[in-house]
Amino acid sequence: MTSQAVRLFRKMDGLFAVYKPQGVHWKHVRDSIESNLLKALNSCPPPAPQLAVQFQLLSGGENSSSKDVVLSPSMVPTLADHPLVTGPQFHKVHVGVGHRLDAFSSGVLVLGVGKGNGVLEHLCKSHVTRDYTLEGEFGKATDNFTHTGRVIEKTTYDHVTLDKLERVLAMIQGANQKALIMYSQVDLHTQEAYELAVRGLLYPHGKSPPILTGLRCIHFNPPHFTLEVQCVNETQKYLRKLIHEVGLELRTSAVCSGVRRTRDGPFKVENALTRQHWTAGSIIQAIAHFSKATRKIRKSGMYKQTAGQLNSSAQVQEQTRSQTEQINQEHVELSSSTSDTVVDRETPVTLSEGRTKH
Amino acid sequence: MALVSLRSCGRLGFHLGLRAYATRPVGTPRKREQQDDTPVFQYVGQHRKLQGKVFVWGFSYTGALGIPSFVVPDSGRKKPRKYQLTPYRLDTEQKISSAACGYGFTLLASNSRDLTKLWGMGLNKDSQLGFQRTQHDRHKSYDYVLEASPVSLPLVNPQETRALQVSCGRAHSLVLTDSEGVFSMGNNAYGQCGRKIVEDEVFRFSHSICPAPLVLGSVYACGWGADGQTGLGYHNKASCPVPVGGDLAGVKVQQVATYGDCSLAVSTDGHVFGWGNSEYLQLASVTEATQISSPWLLALRGVGRVRQAACGGTQVAVLNEEGEVFVWGFGILGKGPKLSESAIPERFNPTVKVSSIRCGLNHFAAITDRGELFVWAKNVRGCLGIGKHDDQYFPWRVTVPGHVTDVACGVDHMVALVRSII
């Protein structure tokens, strides 16, 4: 008979998403989740104490005459498994973190509990794309690309219009489209590579620099503007630097006032748990909600381990790409009217080549 | 903030000086008064106009790229740069409206009324860039022009006439002006300059730039005709521009394209006429003969109304009104390594709208309506501009900082006319 605590512990296996607030280190989030889970586990009512037979000197009772102390057996609870003796039953719950978010950013943070930690590794290796919303502000440049940094330069921004911004974003997208194919580790001189490129299936499955697969402006109100970005292999500092570079291309300067991750693979911000819900009950519900996605990630991860046995790298590309697409299937590719990148899959451009001399 | 004087402090002193610096921890906002002190810079005004720029890339030893430091480096330590594999900005004094690439030389034309309308750089052994007088000898001309140098045209009204378009061949060039007709210069061994062929003429140091009479809408041809590329019905040389007949008689032509030995003409109602060499199946839609000496209407199925045509050495491309590109011929056509020849037009992915298509001798260039440049096919000495020497079997984007408005393809180099984004 398992106790309620053990039954609760066995339910804590899987992946779920948490909304990390801004200004908080991701480690604090992980630690508070772990302590909440431990609190819930250790506050479960302990099982009924085990009884052991003990021979005690008790007064006789009815059978013998009174005032005779006789050795009689009785069931007495053993104190060996009393919680006040042994201490709390659970000391540690393995909670792991997926793609990290630095202190300045906020948004979806994927955590794994128990057996889900193994699946976390597969998620990290699967090169799923992530969605971010970046808030930017024209007019100043700082040392760490955020609005709280030391101001290095101030510039005018009255010449910036939405169509100029869209043109610059289209150019950045063009460079990133090329990078997608450049880092796909497929020999471009083969017919299979051409077939995949035409269908838009070439994707960087190995090591690659940060690549933006989608970029568009969703709000423009000078000096403030908001960009929506889909990227792979990125860091939040790279995204803040992107805002700075958008400013430079527009012959002004820009700082980032917010980075918010709205999606990490199949984990979206609508299903992420906010601080009030960092309790064991909500977490277990969330794990159950994401169990399908977790299974898919685990399957794709196991596929990749055996992928080395396949002959052609292009075949591996196609099948791992379809796996990644299945994982990402709920998200819609970004495309806006003036800067659609998705359609033009034949035609890639490199990031490093963008340094032309003037 | 005051600068720390490095020279006065020793090494230890420098570190101490830094520590004594009044630094504010990162993240705490500055006080208001300090914030307002920073000067505000203006890099661009509100009414800034878009600038035109010129980018070049490819083989540079002939001087065709117009950057002398590639051929003769500025300092003794640097090595000459043989191939410029990515687009490099060429500084021009005026806005260039038309460019053309020949075999090892380039011509740039500006649409202005100034006295200097034309600049040439590269190979000049046949005076294809006119007479470029040397510094030391008045009667000699430079064989290799490393920098864009003015080409003087014998115009009647140099301050009124504008140079509209330039075009280059293997060793000759043509300039179209708005009121004084066409001027030609360079090699005339086959009569391609439209003037009388002189036996054993020496074209080095030649001064001859002559105008040629023409009529709007019809096609004139002169030059070598061994493959029928003059379209005049015979296979001899023609030294004087003669109107082309055949199926083109009476047809208003909007564009002519020719490169190797094959020529195409596009009429105003969207039909394509072809003549010349058909050894590589360029004209196989109408005939199986390898040379056609007079223009035939090409019945291309599924192409629709043609807006522009471009000819390469062994391959041909057309662009229709919907922005779709069709290629056929021999060589790397751009649909993978397997498709190396085709007699029927092969269509490219129609989701991308193309606004202009050009052909070099062995490669293609397409400009989309969003101003992006795509190149593909053989990468002769880095002419594709994609950063590597490998051939490209499907269209690949060239990174240029701006919107490409026009591109000129030569044998081993290319010139792009780019409009800035902001």
Q: What is the pLDDT, as a whole number, of residue B187?
A: 86
The predicted model scores a pTM of: 0.83
Q: Render pLDDT for B124-137 as a digit per residue (tens, 0 to 9).
A: 999 999 998 899 99
Residue among B399, B403, B419 with most chain A CBs within 10 A, to mutate: B399
Contacts of A250 in chain B (CB under 8 A): 422
Mean pLDDT for B177-183 is 88
Stronger pLDDT, B12 or B333, i.e. the higher one: B333
- How far B278 CA lies from chain A's nearest CA (Å)? 27
Nearest to B44 among A159, A175, A343 (CB): A159
Nearest to B421 among A151, A171, A198 (CB): A171
Contacts of A158 in chain B (CB under 8 A): 46
CA atoms within 13 A of residue A190's CA, in its CB half-sphere: 11
Question: Strand A69-77 to strand A51-59: parallel, antiparallel, or no bridges (unpaired)?
Answer: antiparallel
- B338 contacts A353? CB cut-off 8 A: no
Place of tokens 């019945």: B299
B399 and chain A in contact, CB less than 8 A: yes
B148 band by pLDDT with thresholds 50, 70 and 90: very high
- B42 contacts A154? CB cut-off 8 A: no
- B394 contacts A159? CB cut-off 8 A: no
- A357 contacts B335? CB cut-off 8 A: no
Query: What is the rounded distance in angstroms from the CA atom of residue B211 to the CA atom of residue B199?
Result: 21
Q: Name the nearest CA neighbour of A47 among A90, A4, A10.
A: A4
Triad B365, B369, B371: Cα angle to 5°: 65
Give this complex's ipTM: 0.81
Q: What is the pLDDT, as a whole number, of residue A314?
A: 52
- B403 contacts A167? CB cut-off 8 A: yes
Q: Which helix (H) or strand (E) segment is A77 a member of?
A: strand A69-77
Query: What is the rounded distance in angstroms from the CA atom of residue A112 to the CA atom of residue B360?
Result: 57
Query: What is the rounded distance in angstroms from the CA atom of residue A170 to the CA atom of residue B53?
Result: 19
Q: What is the pLDDT, as a whole number, of residue B198?
A: 75
Nearest to A194 among B27, B335, B372 (CB): B335
- How far A291 CA lies from chain B's nearest CA (Å)? 38
Which residue of chain A is at minimal alpha-carbon distance from B391?
Answer: A189
Residues with Cβ < 8 Å from B80, sequence gap 6 or more? B60, B61, B70, B71, B72, B73
Q: Render pLDDT for A63-98 as a digit per residue (tens, 0 to 9).
A: 656 677 888 888 888 888 888 888 888 999 999 999
pLDDT at B12 over 50: no
Q: What is the pLDDT, as a whole number, of residue A54?
A: 87
Give chain A's mean pLDDT: 84
pLDDT at B11 over 70: no
Mean pLDDT for B80-98 is 94
Q: What is the pLDDT, as a whole number, of residue A350?
A: 36
* pLDDT averages per 10-residue partition of chain A, 358 residues: 88 94 95 95 87 84 68 87 86 93 94 92 88 96 94 94 94 91 88 88 87 95 95 94 95 96 93 94 94 90 65 53 58 36 37 38
B1 and chain A in contact, CB less than 8 A: no
Residue type, B194: G
Contacts of A189 in chain B (CB under 8 A): 337, 390-391, 393
pLDDT at B63 over 80: yes
- B370 contacts A348? CB cut-off 8 A: no
Residue among B67, B354, B421 with most chain A CBs within 10 A, to mutate: B421
Q: What is the pLDDT, as a whole number, of residue B143?
A: 92
The pair of structure tokens assigned to A243 is 């805002």
Domains and CATH numbers, chain A: 129-264 (3.30.2350.10)
- B399 contacts A349? CB cut-off 8 A: yes
Query: What is the rounded distance in angstroms from the CA atom of residue B323 to the CA atom of residue B315?
Result: 19
Mean pLDDT for B59-65 is 94
b/e per residue A80-99 (b: at least 16 CB within 10 A): eeeeeeeeebbeebebbbbb
Q: Is A163 a catalytic residue?
A: no
B39 band by pLDDT with thresholds 50, 70 and 90: very high
Residue among B35, B340, B370, B379 with most chain A CBs within 10 A, to mutate: B370
- How far A135 CA lies from chain B's nearest CA (Å)? 18
Q: What is the pLDDT, as a whole number, of residue A343?
A: 36
- A354 contacts B399? CB cut-off 8 A: yes
Query: What is the rounded distance in angstroms from the CA atom of residue B165 to the CA atom of residue B410?
Result: 16
Of the listed ranges A61-75, B249-263, B274-288, B312-326, the least confidently predicted one is: A61-75
Give chain B's mean pLDDT: 85
B352 and chain A in contact, CB less than 8 A: yes
- B337 contacts A174? CB cut-off 8 A: no
Per DSSP, helices labelled H in chain A are: 4-11, 26-42, 83-86, 116-125, 162-182, 191-199, 236-249, 280-289, 291-306, 313-327
List A102, A158, A187, A344, catalytic entry: A102
The pair of structure tokens assigned to B121 is 């750089």
Of the listed ranges A74-83, B369-378, B398-407, the least confidently predicted one is: A74-83
Q: What is the pLDDT, as a whole number, of residue A345?
A: 39
Q: What is the pLDDT, as a whole number, of residue B229?
A: 73
B272-277 β-sheet, strand order: B253-258, B262-267, B272-277, B291-298
Query: Are A116 and A294 a contacting pair, CB within 8 Å?
Result: yes
CA distances from B299 to B52, B257, B270, B316 (A): 39, 18, 11, 15
Query: Are A171 and A249 a contacting pair, CB within 8 Å?
Result: yes
Q: What is the pLDDT, as a whole number, of residue B81?
A: 93
Stronger pLDDT, B41 or B34, i.e. the higher one: B41
Residues with Cβ < 8 Å from A323, sequence gap 6 or more? A126, A296, A299, A300, A303
User: What is the number of residues in chain A?
Assistant: 358
Contacts of B55 in chain A (CB under 8 A): 356
Contacts of B337 in chain A (CB under 8 A): 189-191, 194
Q: Name the nearest CA neighbour of B319 among B284, B279, B352, B296.
A: B352
Q: What is the pLDDT, as a whole number, of residue A324?
A: 61
Q: Which three-class secondary structure state does DSSP give residue A15?
A: strand
- How far B90 CA lies from chain A's nearest CA (Å)? 8
Query: What is the rounded distance in angstroms from the CA atom of residue B395 to the CA atom of residue B367?
Result: 11
Phi, psi of B381 (to 5 degrees): 55, 40
